[in-house]
Structure 1
Amino acid sequence: MSEGNKTICIIGAGAAGLAALRAILDTPQYKAGLWKPTVFEERDQVGGIWLPDSATDKSGLPMTPLYDSLTTNLAHPVMCFPSFPFPPSTPIFPVAARVQSYLESYTAHFELNPFIRLNTLVTDVLRDQSRWKVQFHSGESVDFDFIIVANGHHRIPRYANVPGLESWLALKKAMHSVWYRHGQYFGDKVLVVGGGPSGNDISAEMRSYCTVLVRSITGALREDSGNLKIRGRLTKLGSDGQVFFEDGSVESDVDYCILATGYQVSLSFLSPPLLYPALPPPCPPLPDTLYNSTYHIFPLARHIFPIQTTFPPTSLVFMGLPVRVAPLPVMEAQAAAIVHAFAHPEAFDVERETRDVLARYAELGDDPAAIARKWSVFTEELQWRYQDELHEFAHKDIRVPQWRKDMYGAKVLLRSFWVELERRGEADEWVKGVGEGGIDEWAALLQKLLRAAQEWESSK
């Protein structure tokens, strides 16, 4: 057991930072007065990506890519913190404002506010002998024993490497979806690049504002349906509105392009020698320092703990990096593992963790660039195993229940059916009073909803 008073810096008051703080306040070390946590948040409220921010100024990056029509793409009983369900009667796929209210309620319920410093931007994190020196935009500098990096990774746009894109951006004929807030007229023919959730939502909304909506989705087959054209990977943006695709097809007279092409992992407060902004060298062996490829931080044990030679691997940790997961349950599991490692650094077996990282590296192929892109992307099976193993590491008897797995797997059908129920005006009746008896009521409702969705799908 580590001894003595320890100070803990948490960077970011989004879902990850709040989960970390709550886990710390639940420890015997905090209750004994040995651990002193502080969360530092750049913005004026908690919530992170769910806290709205205007995108009217195209010269600067908004704090969040949150668009006006966003609803969750996972049912809230699946995506919530398992220890804190959404309020009774919440729509199954809530709008963003309800998620923001949920995080504010979480903060109030667990009495987290006294430990959060708002309007406080971390500018640098440096290793100073056996402690961390954290510097802020005000010029203030504070030493800490532990750092939890929970700053999110949905702000810095990732642009496709497409010939002609820079010209389109310069001519204001294209923008990244980080600036998108609502449907509007961008021209008669609009191109949306990207097949993720934001690309899907933006495309569905934009079809009402243009004559022809062209979608570029890597790996997609060519298809035309109404005013929607689906094409494969974008290869070139030409002059005079010409757009070229991998299958050799060309679209002419495209007026505007919206790039729903994702985001970079960005940690501006960490710089060499702590973190190098580059693709890591091929493995094995693991490098002696950390790298940020913009797709992943490497090498991290369990996607959390840095394996390197400069500082103890349990003294600076990362949260919220896995993608294509139910994020809040993953963050809760990560927080449990982190506080256990802070209290029991001897439980961290560097040799075993190194073997595990190298084994995953070998599974993903032999191209370092391709491995970087795949590293943080989880399959369904991996995310369930990941959560269970983190709880096991933290000595918590918690397993992902089967209903969460089933409902995650049925997320697309469930969301489609929920949209249909909203169209019919029946959605509110489905959830009325549900949740007053706890999470089990939500689980039962989702199972009922799935059966109805399957019948609806088969009857179409």
Structure 2
Amino acid sequence: MSTMGTIGRLSSLLSALAFPSSKVQSDGSKPEKAIAIVGAGTGGIAALKALLDLPEDIREGWQVDVLEQTAHVGGMWVPEPSPPSPPDLPNTPLYPALQTNTPHPTMTYPNFPFPPMTPLFPPHDVLKKYHEDYVQHFNLTPYIRFNHTVLSAVYDSPSHQWSLTIRDPTNNTSQRRYDHLIVAKGNNRYPYSPTWPGQDEWISSANGQRQVLHSLWYREPEKYTGHLIVVVGDGASGRDMAVQTLPLAKEVYHSYDTKTLRPIVLAPVPGVTLKPRISHFTRSSIVFVDGTTLDTPKDTKTTVLLGTGFACLVPWLPQLAISQNGVDSSTVDLTTNRRYIRPLFRHVLSLDVTIPPDRLAFVGLPWWIANAPSDYAQGLLTAHAIADPSWLPSKEELIDDLNAQENALRVQGIDPYRYGHAFASEVESEAYVNGIIDLLRSRSPVRLPDFLADKTVPYLAPWRRRAREQTFFMRRGWIRAEELGVEKQFLEGAETEDKWAEKIRMLEEWTREQEEGKGRIEVVEEPL
């Protein structure tokens, strides 16, 4: 057993044994505030750090518990090579070949870059180690209760408290009460799996030769050797599954709608057969919306792999209703239509009519965004609301802000109740994240961390947005540099955010020179 593995297991055990009653401190007194954070992935760690970055005199006497259902920090970056079979849910959709599709300097928590010599587009194990290093560096482990699963969280209006039912490592359940609840469950837990007419009969009529499987359960492409593969969806996981199964499968079809919210339309994956959306199944075939048919013989294993994303659900939070009829501007009770949660202020603070905005927050809901810096900003918004909610505008004003946010999407032709948590451009995501910090700078009486003291300096340095906008370009350059064996020049000496920014600029200039002189190399591009 490795030393790090031993330390991790010991930390998990100690944190479990040291879990006091949520309303009693070590001296037997009642904490001034008790705060529960559910999840120790990117969002949960960011929320915890943001709370601890409040001035000590403000958070003195607070109790903060991070409730993590696994034995590790890092959320989706913790591998689960042998996931349970459907319908049981894995803890992560991570597959062995996964690596980042954006340059890592744009993905970091504030003032905590990746170590020197980290490849610009690293594999998933580097992301796991990054989260572990962050927790260790800032001594966050004592606040994390590993192997503690939240089974339910119910808000009691008279007491303004949450009652959480929690299962501990010994499989015992208990109830604990908290004043504030932060949901940082991640966005990759509950699969969004469309179904089609005739699907069940198609599966059952081939004696186990056919299956429909969501990417949550996808791991090794070798499992699909010789299969007829239909990949549904053109997101990152869909394109990865198409690329990885292509050399092994009998044939790969890629089914998706070429209309996209994102301004960048990606070229089809080379070698696959492009198809439109699926219309329905017959006993022996898959029919697409253009009327074309794919025959699926009974003697050929056929797998439909769904890269269709994840549902926006929190099953253990009964206050979050699941609407079968959707949500709209009249929705004032906390509701999800599986794509969008409403009503929330800036995607974070609950505006439910029965819950004060400081009592319930969500960290990590936005997508198509750099998660760590966004989650930390959301964590600060939550922390300042908890510390002193008096600075928040009235709930009516907060609702007006939400309506304006949704109307701005409608003007762009975007359905806010489907893509409301998405950001269609880096300009928009940058404005969102910087806007949270600017709001705190202008309204909150609570002091921000020192690195945010200068109001003239944006929270997100402009180079981050430019680097994300140039991701496809720089990824081509990085792959070329690796092929030529010259990639170290873009890594050596990068020990700070500013140094990493310089290296990114160097790679950008070098790539431009290479492509002007030698042309582009062919790379399968992935959405951010």
Q: Same fold (TM over 0.5)?
A: yes
| Structure 2 residue 178 is the aligned partner of structure 1 residue 144 | yes
Aligned to 1:263: 310
| Structure 2 residue 489 is the aligned partner of structure 1 residue 430 | yes
Letter in 1 for 2:440: A
Would the aligned equivalents of 1:279 and 1:292 in 2 still touch at CA under 8 Å?
A: no
Aligned counterparts of 1:337 and 1:32: Cα–Cα separation in 2: 15
Letter in 2 for 1:351: E
1:33 to 47, 60, 85: 60
For 1:388-399, list aligned pairs within 5 A.
388-395=434-441, 396=452, 397=455, 398-399=458-459
| Structure 2 residue 159 is the aligned partner of structure 1 residue 114 | no
Aligned counterparts of 1:49 and 1:224: Cα–Cα separation in 2: 27
Aligned length: 449
Would the aligned equivalents of 2:243 and 2:269 in 1 still touch at CA under 8 Å?
A: no
| Structure 2 residue 372 is the aligned partner of structure 1 residue 333 | no
TM superposition shift of 1:434: 3.3
Aligned to 1:83: 111
Aligned to 2:160: 130
| Structure 2 residue 406 is the aligned partner of structure 1 residue 356 | no
TM superposition shift of 1:224: 8.4
The unaligned stretches of length 5 or more in structure 2 are 1-30, 260-264, 442-451, 521-528
2:221 to 173, 180, 183: 183
Letter in 2 for 1:381: V
For 1:283-432, list aligned pairs within 5 A.
283-285=328-330, 287-349=331-393, 350-365=395-410, 370-379=415-424, 380-395=426-441, 396=452, 397=455, 398-427=458-487, 429-432=488-491
Would the aligned equivalents of 2:327 and 2:337 in 1 still touch at CA under 8 Å?
A: no
The superposition leaves residues 416-440 of structure 1 with CA deviations (integer Å, 9 ceiling, x where unpaired) of: 332333334433x23442322x111
Aligned counterparts of 1:188 and 1:280: Cα–Cα separation in 2: 38
| Structure 2 residue 13 is the aligned partner of structure 1 residue 6 | no
CA RMSD of aligned residues (A): 2.4
The superposition leaves residues 1-28 of structure 1 with CA deviations (integer Å, 9 ceiling, x where unpaired) of: xxx8111110000011111111111212
The superposition leaves residues 329-357 of structure 1 with CA deviations (integer Å, 9 ceiling, x where unpaired) of: 10011111111111120111123221121
What secondary structure does 1:86 align onto?
A: coil
What secondary structure does 2:244 align onto?
A: helix
Aligned to 1:104: 132
Aligned to 1:247: 290
The unaligned stretches of length 5 or more in structure 1 are none
What secondary structure does 1:239 align onto?
A: coil
Aligned counterparts of 2:250 and 2:78: Cα–Cα separation in 1: 33
Aligned to 1:203: 242
What secondary structure does 2:465 align onto?
A: helix
Would the aligned equivalents of 2:164 and 2:175 in 1 still touch at CA under 8 Å?
A: yes
Identity of aligned residues (%): 30
TM superposition shift of 1:55: 3.6
Aligned counterparts of 1:301 and 1:430: Cα–Cα separation in 2: 44
The superposition leaves residues 30-62 of structure 1 with CA deviations (integer Å, 9 ceiling, x where unpaired) of: 676232211000001111110011345323221
Aligned counterparts of 1:305 and 1:225: Cα–Cα separation in 2: 40
Aligned counterparts of 1:77 and 1:189: Cα–Cα separation in 2: 39
Aligned counterparts of 2:464 and 2:268: Cα–Cα separation in 1: 35
> What TM-score, normalized by structure 2, do the two folds share?
0.80
Q: Are residues 109 and 288 of structure 1, via their aligned partners in 2, closer, same or farther at CA, if it must alter by over 3 Å?
A: same
What secondary structure does 1:157 align onto?
A: coil
Would the aligned equivalents of 1:12 and 1:42 in 2 still touch at CA under 8 Å?
A: yes
Q: Are residues 213 and 419 of structure 1, via their aligned partners in 2, closer, same or farther at CA, if it must alter by over 3 Å?
A: farther
Aligned counterparts of 1:100 and 1:168: Cα–Cα separation in 2: 40
What secondary structure does 2:98 align onto?
A: coil
Would the aligned equivalents of 1:222 and 1:231 in 2 still touch at CA under 8 Å?
A: no
Would the aligned equivalents of 2:242 and 2:269 in 1 still touch at CA under 8 Å?
A: no
TM superposition shift of 1:187: 2.8
Q: Are residues 186 and 146 of structure 1, via their aligned partners in 2, closer, same or farther at CA, if it must alter by over 3 Å?
A: same
Would the aligned equivalents of 2:95 and 2:220 in 1 still touch at CA under 8 Å?
A: yes
Q: Are residues 376 and 222 of structure 1, via their aligned partners in 2, closer, same or farther at CA, if it must alter by over 3 Å?
A: closer
Q: Are residues 405 and 93 of structure 1, via their aligned partners in 2, closer, same or farther at CA, if it must alter by over 3 Å?
A: same
Letter in 2 for 1:440: D
Q: Are residues 262 and 224 of structure 1, via their aligned partners in 2, closer, same or farther at CA, if it must alter by over 3 Å?
A: closer
The superposition leaves residues 115-136 of structure 1 with CA deviations (integer Å, 9 ceiling, x where unpaired) of: 1000000111112222111111
TM superposition shift of 1:167: 4.0
Aligned counterparts of 1:358 and 1:222: Cα–Cα separation in 2: 32
> What TM-score, normalized by structure 1, do the two folds share?
0.91
Aligned to 2:511: 453
Q: Are residues 133 and 257 of structure 1, via their aligned partners in 2, closer, same or farther at CA, if it must alter by over 3 Å?
A: same
